[in-house]
Structure 1
């Protein structure tokens, strides 16, 4: 009795758990439906849902029908086996015993058992179908690349849009046929064993016919598989390059064709065997195929590769190497990289620095890692604020085109004090971040800290940049749902010893205007307090999926997204811009960049309003065939890039991840001659640099800068990454990605003369370490307990020369704020370290720059005066300021104080 009670309780518990899971899933589905409606993408949600569910149901039904039909044909042998009594002989006595389980075996019971087994197995087999809904939709909505591969002469669109679904269909059919054959064979064998006549069962005409038909179907499907395997040779990794090689075409392709014919022949023999009724053809057909597959697909290609290809591999593989080069360059858009010669042998003069002042003034002296720490110490204001990352961008500020660094001040609820982590605070009060911090890339104040263009709460700026809507409800740290327009007000920002409060004025969120919705949200979020809270009214809205790295891919999950969304200030509002890529791993002959894709285009730009959460997808490359396919599947999803506000378009930049992938590929695939490529004679590497506090070499990151490219008249915002030759440290070229105006998206590679030595980043780092003055100063700082942080080495093109700039930051033990302490500049054979960039350049040019008036904003000019001279001058200016103050000359007083600040800054730097 107790055992039965435990059984009943276990069944009830399992049923309750299953019911709760279904209720939770239903609630989550409902709230997702409401959310997609609030962001106006319900049609996208429906298309994805119906595609995934519809495809799985169709596969489930088809597989169930096949399995059940085959199992149903085996019902008679099972019933007959159950009715056969077993013969037991003891001496001269023979006893016929009916198996105890035979009473349970009735035609109806067997049918129900087969139906249940077929349903479960079909459900398991159909599982991959739902995850491949996109392959199904692209099969129905293909596009054309107008590029034919050279082996089968099919357009690349066949491989990208049709082949993935054909492979899925083939595997589903193969699994279904193989499982049917396995189940049927097992049932026939077990039925024969139960009745004592295995041979009788297998020799029966019905069993032979059934097995022959199933095996013939399986062979027909496998024959189709060999046809698909021929196409998959274009993704082979056996040769010198990715894609089909000599052995693949002359051995494996031939093997697949022969095996295809053998499969069809064996299938035909098996169908004929239905009439003949013999068992041997079943065995012979399988044996011949196994032996042929081993010989043709294993031994024969290995022998050809070893004895025919390897002795003359370069010549044998020539057309296939050329195919690999051609298609890899195409899929990563390397063909559109413009190559120019950069002499790098010129000698810069002071007038050259003056003529390129716009480049010099935008050399980035702040490394984003120490700057993030500095921002955190200076501008987070409260524990719950954080700067998730530092972005590099450009703005026109007071009429000047400036490169800046900025960060969004987001609210991270995880950093609230423990006593403040209440449900009300986390969901009703602390709902949003506030404002941004912005600073020029190269300016410092008297304390070695960045000069802030936008700072504090509420935002304060002395420029023409204004923020009218600083609240950040959607960002990279907003992981929790919040309720707005509740009974009480939300915390807005800290205000002295008090706080400022506000009410959300945006249109984002889902209305909570009924008990039913509150119940569904409580179940979906697993939060019963949402149902019981008296602060939430019928006018309240719920804001969820607020983290943009969750929000954006939830709407469009089939794009690949860049690792770094960045914040943009436009017309007083804050937006996030996020680059998205169309990718595929099915482009023939193209070498993969990483597991998963061998084709990439920056086809989409995503803009997210940080206040309202509006997400807009803009088609940045409407000519991309993959984007065209998506546009057919989801009409109206992608807006023309011309519809993006002009203020946001001016902040589009060449994306970092795409640039890095292209640079990695171009390092090898700039070699277009098959002989050079085969021998890797001119392979390039990405450089290394010494950065951080551990003085260890690490891969150099691409960096943004404003520079005037050689031959151009205007400076522009570009991304740069140098190249070094294989097994050497000197620099052979550098790649530039352009981001401004009509030049956006264009890549330039500047190659250096091969007979000329141009220092690479690692060589410059070594020269810095070998300089006795610099190394002694670094050691001295370290001995005093300070931490020295080496920033990114910047290589800046100026005219026909390169200037190497590396900032050094110092952080004292008692301080958590890194300060920009020195700037190292290398030009030609000179390496100098000075407190400022201007002083370093002035020293390189023997003090001649002071005569040009070439001073970087915010950095005092190097006057060459002694410490005592500067002190005397400071005293004179101070007395002058007091005189102007007594006379009521406030403008003159301010001018004097600014002069005094400049002198004191230089005095401080000289005494460090």
Structure 2
């Protein structure tokens, strides 16, 4: 081999070694930076250790059988001289030079190919070694639920592995004996004449039958997950037919194994095929055909009578698995006697009615508070804060930096300069400006706040859109925010990222990101840090891949800093008798994950220490989890019941609120999630957060709620609430409406709104060319044993991305009203009985003269455009808004009409358009 080839081969070997080191070393540094180095090593060495153990077992067993095969051939009795010479020559050749080497290589390669599965199932092994009881035994086999969750998967893993190992070995040995018997010089009529070969294969097949006996035993436990009966779990046929059938198959398998062991001393050509045929026939008849026959012709014709006790098990275990067994049931005696005085007594609820809809609001946030094209609000979060001493429900969103839309996508810009987002925007759920836009109580860059909230560190280096790696603490200053014609810059002072303090690390990072500029750049120093895997969801999954994560992390302001809270779930699909939904049949929201938006630190807080799954994980990773008592109090106050879990539980509860077996089987009282009208289409009502006073409670609280309708009708039959505040966190209450009274459901209320002539005509007028009407979520609000329905109405111009709240529809009893705001709607609905304000002070009252003048000028420009386009509906609306803004100006200070640019011109244009219209009509 010449020198050039040696250099190329050496470079390839070095590259492969660096790639392997890159994968593990940089990830280890990443984990160490987060103080989770032990988590990384536990998973890594767990995978390697388990894979190595199973590799040695596979390799040793297969190679031992190769050795036995050689002995069987070399020591064949009663051979002719010619046979002996050929086999002896072949045997000596393989023994002396090649046989051990070849068979060891085949064994090692085969073991490598088939031992990745156990290594990938490291968590199954770890859960088995750290198993805990659930404290609930199944009613059929009296095994604790922990056996099915932690032990049975491990036993199934072992069974599958050893069955594959022995079966594959038997196939390889049969092929080997066939190959030897076909060698030149051997004239056996067939390979079965190899006496020792038949004996060897009989022993292997006997071992397979023993493993099959274990398999049938494990199948008995798996019947607790049978889908055959009227409900999930072991039914009549499983318990009374299938279990006895499996016991008979266990007996047959063991008898066949003993028979083969006995016959191995005097094997013949018929024994092995006959044993396999008997096993297959018995499995087909007893394991499948006979139970199916009983189910079809005995159970199904009278299913309820046979399945009743097993349905009871399914109901009880499903309710427990989804944490529905502790839902408190209360009667909600609906009354239509809601008065204005009652409204005044429930100011906490009224002042927190969510008028702004998160779906159109995200467009408004991005238009008004994006401020720069590369800033983006990804999602609107709903939370509650004590603002200036008042408990308020708010919407807020993180202003993240989206590198995909940077105007100049240079390497310096993408990696060194534009590294982070900046701050949040917050608005109350029910406050809007006179233009129908959200009123921002936290806004702009740097953050301006009209509350007692303080944001001292607004940098967002870790978020939902931080998908690219960046490098901080370089010679290039990071862009922080814009100051008019100039920019403010910063240097990162946090703890996030992995330091590049050597050329070796630079090489590894350059290879990982396929980024050679990291090797050539003069901007990097020994203090520079590479931030990668910054997306908060990916970050949490990388640390704890065994948890499931909610799809809606939310931003929280606490102690002057920004944090993300991500709900994490422990799940399994191995809980006995529990009905599966998707790929799980047990779930708990046992962990709250908190990610520091600036430092990137990730903390896992255990909120439910009664969940055996999370306690097992805690035993495996003791340094990963913290008690919920260690969570800062300010963050603890912002914990909320997760919408993803509530969605799943509400679906399950729509059927499993029925505890009577006959009612459940016939679905006599089945519920459904009602529908509402959104963007002209029917869709299921989504759960919504609200601040309200639950019946029988003394304080307002933050709850997640959802109404129910009967499965075949649109009226409302109940509503479910999950509580989030203080000691009541996680408690759930279902309020049942009287069955002898019809309570309108969301879709029926939508229909009544559509049938209201006044409302329908007005919405049709607005919904003309150039603009579209968007009706927001219909909120069902329980107040003092009454139901109030509130639906916001938005108007959006085709040329605009700014949906504006223009009306509020309120429904109670038989009355439907629509007004400019919630206060006017309530006054019209119930009559004015007091001067007590129903909503917070008009936000325009605290706006400056300059802001109002600016708004007036903007409204004039919009009105001119509408006038030119002939869109009179939109023009009229802008004119109303302009009049309102001018009144606010007049209340503050005398304003010269000349300050309002274009007002006289607008009036002249309007007069000209109207005269022209009159002439055309004439």
TM-score in terms of structure 1 length: 0.90
Partner of 2:519: 531
Match among 104, 108, 112 for residue 123 of structure 1: 112
Distance 1:255 1:431 in 2: 65
Q: Is the partner of 2:481 in helix, strand or coil?
A: strand
Partner of 1:833: 818
Greater shift in the superposed pair: 430-439 or 124-133: 124-133
Q: Is the partner of 2:265 in helix, strand or coil?
A: helix
Partner of 1:895: none
Match among 436, 443, 448 for residue 424 of structure 2: 436
Partner of 1:165: 154
Partner of 1:713: 698
Q: Any conservation in 2 of the 1:388–1:476 contact (CA below 8 Å)?
A: yes
Partner of 1:587: 575
Q: Label 1:871 to 1:386 Cα distance change in 2 as closer, same or farther (>3 A).
A: closer
Partner of 2:599: 612
Structure 1: segments with no counterpart, 5+ residues: 88-95, 862-866, 887-912
Structure 1 residue 254 and structure 2 residue 244: aligned?
yes
Spell out, residue by residue over 1:519-557, the C-alpha distance to the aligned partner (whole angstroms, 9 max, x if none): 222222221111221100112122221111111111111
Distance 2:710 2:888 in 1: 55
Q: Label 1:760 to 1:211 Cα distance change in 2 as closer, same or farther (>3 A).
A: same
Q: Any conservation in 2 of the 1:409–1:434 contact (CA below 8 Å)?
A: yes
Structure 1 residue 780 and structure 2 residue 765: aligned?
yes
How many Å apart are 1:635 and its aligned residue? Answer: 1.4
Partner of 1:414: 404
Distance 2:803 2:239 in 1: 61
Partner of 1:349: 339
Q: Any conservation in 2 of the 1:361–1:857 contact (CA below 8 Å)?
A: no
Structure 1 residue 321 and structure 2 residue 321: aligned?
no
Partner of 1:798: 783
How many Å apart are 1:197 and its aligned residue? Answer: 4.2
How many Å apart are 1:172 and its aligned residue? Answer: 0.3
Match among 49, 63, 68 for residue 44 of structure 2: 49
Greater shift in the superposed pair: 767-776 or 282-291: 767-776
Partner of 2:621: 634
Q: Any conservation in 1 of the 2:237–2:294 contact (CA below 8 Å)?
A: yes
Distance 1:868 1:590 in 2: 61
Partner of 1:890: none
Spell out, residue by residue over 1:706-763, the C-alpha distance to the aligned partner (whole angstroms, 9 max, x if none): 0111121211000011111111111111100100011111000001111111111111
Q: Label 1:507 to 1:874 Cα distance change in 2 as closer, same or farther (>3 A).
A: closer
Partner of 2:531: 543
Structure 1 residue 821 and structure 2 residue 781: aligned?
no
Distance 1:178 1:12 in 2: 45
How many Å apart are 1:234 and its aligned residue? Answer: 0.4
Greater shift in the superposed pair: 727-736 or 760-769: 760-769
Q: Is the partner of 1:402 in helix, strand or coil?
A: strand
Distance 2:881 2:370 in 1: 36
Q: Label 1:877 to 1:146 Cα distance change in 2 as closer, same or farther (>3 A).
A: closer
- Equivalence map 1:179-194=2 (5 Å): 179-194=168-183
Distance 1:868 1:183 in 2: 88
Q: Is the partner of 1:347 in helix, strand or coil?
A: coil
Partner of 2:300: 310
Match among 647, 652, 656 for residue 639 of structure 2: 652
Partner of 1:491: 479
Q: Any conservation in 2 of the 1:838–1:859 contact (CA below 8 Å)?
A: no
Spell out, residue by residue over 1:42-78, the C-alpha distance to the aligned partner (whole angstroms, 9 max, x if none): 0011111111111011111111111122123334678
Q: Any conservation in 2 of the 1:602–1:621 contact (CA below 8 Å)?
A: yes
Q: Label 1:811 to 1:80 Cα distance change in 2 as closer, same or farther (>3 A).
A: farther
How many Å apart are 1:673 and its aligned residue? Answer: 0.9
Q: Label 1:878 to 1:566 Cα distance change in 2 as closer, same or farther (>3 A).
A: closer
Match among 668, 671, 675 for residue 681 of structure 1: 668
Q: Any conservation in 2 of the 1:79–1:106 contact (CA below 8 Å)?
A: no
Greater shift in the superposed pair: 181-190 or 663-672: 181-190
Greater shift in the superposed pair: 868-877 or 618-627: 868-877
Structure 1 residue 727 and structure 2 residue 712: aligned?
yes
How many Å apart are 1:402 and its aligned residue? Answer: 0.3
Structure 1 residue 72 and structure 2 residue 54: aligned?
no
Partner of 1:222: 212
Match among 370, 376, 384 for residue 380 of structure 1: 370
Distance 1:336 1:143 in 2: 22
Match among 830, 836, 842 for residue 858 of structure 1: 842
Distance 1:383 1:25 in 2: 40
Match among 741, 748, 751 for residue 763 of structure 1: 748
Distance 1:647 1:58 in 2: 48
Match among 359, 362, 387 for residue 369 of structure 1: 359
Distance 2:230 2:554 in 1: 40
Partner of 2:256: 266
Q: Label 1:875 to 1:141 Cα distance change in 2 as closer, same or farther (>3 A).
A: closer
How many Å apart are 1:106 and its aligned residue? Answer: 7.2
Q: Any conservation in 2 of the 1:732–1:758 contact (CA below 8 Å)?
A: yes
Q: Is the partner of 1:276 in helix, strand or coil?
A: coil
Distance 1:263 1:875 in 2: 92
Q: Is the partner of 2:273 in helix, strand or coil?
A: helix
Partner of 1:519: 507
Alpha-carbon RMSD: 2.9
Q: Label 1:877 to 1:432 Cα distance change in 2 as closer, same or farther (>3 A).
A: closer
Q: Is the partner of 1:151 in helix, strand or coil?
A: coil
Distance 1:760 1:263 in 2: 60
Q: Any conservation in 2 of the 1:478–1:546 contact (CA below 8 Å)?
A: yes
Q: Is the partner of 1:74 in helix, strand or coil?
A: helix
Partner of 2:731: 746
Q: Label 1:868 to 1:680 Cα distance change in 2 as closer, same or farther (>3 A).
A: closer
Q: Label 1:632 to 1:734 Cα distance change in 2 as closer, same or farther (>3 A).
A: same
Match among 33, 36, 39 for residue 34 of structure 2: 39
Q: Is the partner of 2:698 in helix, strand or coil?
A: coil
Q: Label 1:119 to 1:842 Cα distance change in 2 as closer, same or farther (>3 A).
A: same
Distance 1:704 1:435 in 2: 24
Partner of 1:902: none
Structure 1 residue 481 and structure 2 residue 466: aligned?
no
Spell out, residue by residue over 1:325-369, the C-alpha distance to the aligned partner (whole angstroms, 9 max, x if none): 010000111111000001123310110100011101101011111
Partner of 1:427: 415
Distance 1:497 1:673 in 2: 71
- Equivalence map 1:83-94=2 (5 Å): none
Q: Any conservation in 2 of the 1:408–1:435 contact (CA below 8 Å)?
A: yes
Distance 2:66 2:757 in 1: 85
Q: Is the partner of 1:275 in helix, strand or coil?
A: coil
Match among 658, 682, 692 for residue 671 of structure 1: 658
Partner of 1:896: none
Distance 1:482 1:176 in 2: 47
